[in-house]
Amino acid sequence: MSQSLADNPILNWTERPVYTDIKAEHVVPAIESALAEAEKALSDLEQDPPSTWLGLFPRIEKIQDDIGRFWGVISHLNGVRNSPELRDAYTQAQPQIIAFINRSGQSQAIYDSMLAIQANEGDQLDETQTRILEASLRAAHMSGIGLSGADRDKFNENSRKLAELSTQYSNNLLDATKAYRHTLTTTDEVAGLPPSFLAMAAENARQQGHENATAEDGPWAITLDSPSYLAIQKYSDRRELREEVYRAYTTRASAGDVDNKPIVNQIMPLRQEQAKLLGFENYAQMSLAGKMAGTVEAVETLLLDLRQAARQAGADDIEALRTLARESGAPEAADLQFWDYYYWSEKLRTQKYALNDEELRPYFPLPRVLEGMYELVGRIFGIVIKQADGQVPVWHPDVQYFNVLDQDGTHIADFYLDPYSRPSEKRGGAWADVLVQRSKLMAESGKEVRIPAGYMCCNQSPPVDGKPSLMTFQEVLTMYHEFGHQLQNVLTTIDSGLVSGLRGIEWDAIELASQFMENWCYHRPTLESMARHYETGDPLPEELVNKIIGSRTYQAGYMMLRQVNFGIFDITLHKVEEISENTALEIQQQVATETLPLPLVPEDRFFCGFGHIFSGGAYAAGYYSYKWAEVLSADAFAAFTEIGLDNVTEVQKLGRRFRDTVLALGGSKHPMDVFIDFRGRKPEPAALLRQEGLI
């Protein structure tokens, strides 16, 4: 490696990257160097293909890990510290990564070696080795190993194009969100909006050049990132403002230079062509081939059953809002629209439970929420989460770093938390990701195993005017959700990086642990432990605790239909043989008409901002996974409620079993087998319907 490459901060780290040193100009040289090393290792492997599992798969893990570590850092920064320079570098490097992935996946020598191992050693392999071998053979098929000549060339070119289009889609969405500007200047314009929003909006205005903006006097800048958008929808008394912001949000990236409609219309035929090249009828069938559900029919059955179960409850939910609007003398009562939903839903929730997010925010400062969450997992899983800020470099001053210790003090993992919205450089939503997997093979010299590390990224309201980040209850749920993902990464006990942590788990089971963690937010002792007033330290009043728990199933019918709508749109779109200019819009409108109890406006183009399925990898023809895994998580949590959540001894025993199965085994076993190991039987969907109050 040349001296300049030896100094490249993307390449020259072992335990943790020095994010503060990484610049856009490091990206392409780093990836070219890493790919050259990987290509040499792959060629050496092909020259003399091993005939044993131990001869082949450790070398494959090394090749994949070397590329994955470096490209993962770049991809992460592209999502949290996006800039024109980094974006350009990412765009230059990505085709080279795709080309190598296709090249390695289509290696005939390695594929033949795997087939030989299956024939000669198949009955001698343990369960983990068998899973790795079977998954590798399936991945080779999905990579086009069976293709040759023009078909292989077409497949590889399509893969490159799809990666580029996915990145362009994501960039367009980020740019469209960032470009929106709407400034409020009078107190009449901000009627109904709470002080927490006004403080945030004034800060946004200061960042946009209004140096003297204050929460009291304005001006106030609205953005389309979630904290701003949802505050307008929930609290603004000006219906015309709610409508304007709603229309802007649901038409993001649907016009002009950032129009994602043509991107979608290019992505869909390419996906269908890839599926046909691999012998599938459509992309939906191809996507399901490697997921727990297995078939399109199984997915559709689940979604349609849930739609039927929630249909009347969803209609009743909307009628309750109409009734309140009518009783309040609101003209929209006769013509309720989506921009009225959150506003009247919040008012009805306040009336029904005397509960609103602004009343709760002071009791959910981020530091206390984290403390309560870490106390919970310490109690039920026997671990200690220790803040370690300053221990490693981070990519932004707001980022926090944590060590994970076992109950005997052994250091077993680390993770980063990037909690706040930064619409100028950070993509929206919330996610968890992996920096490095647990791996015995990749351990540093003198260490038995490389411990895992990962990221948790959220987009909640940042600290404003000297106050800590005060969270809505939904943001608390989101934090618990993402931490559930990270628990699977940091608590794995599998030593092979090919199937440790989140690696190798069927995608529709990946949400089990995350949704399981959300349930604890409605557990009284957990709720009480994490809710303390940020100024006084007073606990959340019992009355509010009761209301939060009692409101769990509030509007559950409508929210179920909302998620089912997304899932049906996704799976339906990915079955279509021929994509025309308006196919996505027509399917969106048709599914919404059949599913949602409120009408879409004609210009709604939510699919132009549906990053999960157009720039989210395995969520394409896989968005149903949230509901599929929710069946698993509800049934898993039911095991705890059956023994009594306050039965400390039994909860700890069951928590240990959950840790030793769901959180520990990664992709080393089929998720159905993992679930049975924990629960003692297959999952039953009734637990989810009971949890949602639908039966």
How is the chain split into domains, by residue range?
A: 3-146, 180-251, 361-550
Cα distance between residue 633 and residue 513, in whole Å = 7
Cβ proximity of 439 and 496 under 8 Å: yes
Please give the pLDDT value at position 618. Answer: 78
Question: Which one of the listed residues 243, 300, 482, 692 is annotated catalytic?
Answer: 482
Q: What percent of the chain has pLDDT over 70?
A: 99
Residue 426, pLDDT above cutoff 50: yes
Tokens of 532: 């303390």
Task: For the beta carbon of residue 644, count every other beta carbon within 10 angstroms.
Answer: 10
Residue 424: pLDDT band (50, 70, 90) is confident
Cβ proximity of 433 and 76 under 8 Å: yes
Question: Which residues lie closer than 8 Å to 99 by C-beta, 6 or more apart?
Answer: 156, 160
Please give the pLDDT value at position 493. Answer: 97
> Mean of the pLDDT values across residues 208-232?
93
Task: For the beta carbon of residue 423, count every other beta carbon within 10 angstroms.
Answer: 21
Please give the pLDDT value at position 561. Answer: 97
Residue 2, pLDDT above cutoff 70: no
Question: Which residues lie closer than 8 Å to 388 by C-beta, 6 or more apart?
Answer: 401, 402, 403, 414
DSSP calls for 114-132? HHHHHHHHGGG--HHHHHH
The overall average pLDDT reported for the chain is 94
Residue 1, pLDDT above cutoff 60: no
Class of domain 361-550: mainly alpha
Among 662, 649, 567, smallest CA distance to 306 is for: 567
Please give the pLDDT value at position 4. Answer: 64
DSSP state of 551: T
Active-site residue, 475 included: no
Residue 356: pLDDT band (50, 70, 90) is confident
What is the length of the chain? 695
Cβ proximity of 8 and 29 under 8 Å: yes
The string of pLDDT tens digits covering residues 181-201 is 899 999 999 999 999 899 999
The string of pLDDT tens digits covering residues 635-670 is 999 999 999 998 999 999 999 999 999 999 999 999
The string of pLDDT tens digits covering residues 37-79 is 999 999 999 999 999 999 999 999 999 999 999 999 999 999 9
Cα distance between residue 383 and residue 110, in whole Å = 41
pTM: 0.88
> Mean of the pLDDT values across residues 669-688?
94
Task: For the beta carbon of residue 247, count every other beta carbon within 10 angstroms.
Answer: 14
Please give the pLDDT value at position 694. Answer: 86
The string of pLDDT tens digits covering residues 368-382 is 999 999 999 999 999
Among 514, 519, 511, 517, smallest CA distance to 628 is for: 511
Q: Specify the CATH number of the domain 3-146.
A: 1.20.1050.40
Is the bond into 463 cis (omega within 30 degrees of 0)? no
> Mean of the pLDDT values across residues 321-330?
96
